[in-house]
Structure 1
Amino acid sequence: MDPTPAQPLRGARSRDIESLAEFDEVVAEQGTLARYRVQAVDLTGRTDVLLTLDATGAIFLGCALAPEAAARVRSAGALVFPPVPGLPFDPYRAFTYTPDELFESLEEGYEATPDARAYAWYRRTKADGDVFASMLRAIHDDAVSDAMDELLAGARVVGVMGGHATGRGTAGYAGAARLGRELARSGFTVATGGGPGSMEAANLGAYAAPFADTMLDEALRLLAAVPSFRPSVTDWARTAFEVRARWPKGGASVGIPTWFYGHEPPGAFASDIAKYFANATREDGLLARSTAGVVFLPGAAGTVQEIFDNATPNYYESRGGPTPMVLVDEGHWTRELPAWPLLRSLAAGRSMESRIALVDRIEQAPEAIKRLGA
Structure 2
Amino acid sequence: MTEAKPQHEMQKGPVRLRRSQLEHSTTDQRLLDSRGPSDWVHTDPWRVLRIQAEFVEGFGSLAELGPAIAVFGSARTLSDHPHYAQAEECGGKLARAGFAVITGGGPGTMEAANKGASEAGGVSVGLGIELPFETGLNTWVDMGINFRYFFARKTMFVKYSQGFIALPGGIGTLDELFEALTLVQTGKKTVFPIVLVGKAYWQGMLDWMRETMLGDGKISATDLDLITLTDSIDEAVGLMVEARRIREAEHA
Q: Report the residue type matching 1:265 in the other structure.
A: G
Rate the CA distance shift 1:175–1:314 in 2: closer, same or farther, 3 A. Answer: same
Query: How do 1:35-46 residues align onto structure 2 when only pairs under 5 Å count?
Result: none
Higher strand share: 2
Which of 193, 197, 203 is matched with 2:104 structurally?
A: 193
**Structure 2 residue aligned with 1:97:** none
Given candidates 13, 17, 33, the residue that maps to 1:117 is 17
Q: How does 1:22-101 map to 2 (within 5 A)?
A: none
Normalising to structure 1: TM-score of the pair? Answer: 0.51
Q: Which amino acid aligns with 2:202?
A: W
Deviations, residues 278-337 of structure 1 (Å, cap 9, x unaligned)? 0122123212321x2110101122211211100111011113x240011111121112xx
Per the alignment, residue 147 of structure 1 pairs with 60
Could you say which structure has the greater relative contact order, defined with CA pairs below 8 angstroms and 6 or more residues apart? 2
Structure of higher CA gyration radius: 1
1:87-143 per-residue CA deviation (whole Å, 9 max, x = no partner) reads xxxxxxxxxxxxxxxxxxxxxxx8599652399577578588893974563243123
- 2: CA distance, partners of 1:289 / 1:147: 12
Residues 300 and 125 from structure 1, CA distance in 2 versus in 1: closer, same or farther, beyond 3 angstroms? closer
Is contact 1:189–1:254 with CA below 8 Å preserved after alignment? yes
In structure 1, what is the equivalent of residue 50 of structure 2? 137
Query: Residue 326 of structure 1 aligns to a residue in which SS?
Result: strand
Q: Given the two structures, how large is their TM-score scaled by the length of structure 2?
A: 0.72
Match for residue 231 of structure 1? none
Matches within 5 A, 1:239-278: 251-261=122-132, 263-278=134-149
| Residue 209 (structure 2) pairs with residue 342 (structure 1) | yes
1:278–1:173: structure 2 CA closer, same or farther, 3 Å change rule?
same
Distance 1:332 1:112 in 2: 31
Paired residue total: 217
Computed over aligned residues only, the root mean square deviation of the Cα atoms, in angstroms, reads 3.3
Query: Could you tell me which residue of structure 2 aligns to residue 306 of structure 1?
Result: 176
The one-letter code of the counterpart of 1:259 is E
Q: Please report how far the alpha carbon of residue 261 of structure 1 lies from its aligned counterpart in structure 2 after TM superposition.
A: 5.0
Q: Residue in 2 aligned with 1:297?
A: 167
Q: 1:262 to 1:256 in 2, by over 3 A?
A: farther
Which residue identity lines up with residue 138 of structure 1 in the other structure? I
> How does 1:321-336 map onto structure 2 within 5 Å?
321-335=190-204
Q: Is the 8 A contact 2:26 2:132 kept in 1?
A: no
What amino acid is aligned across from residue 137 of structure 1 in structure 2?
R
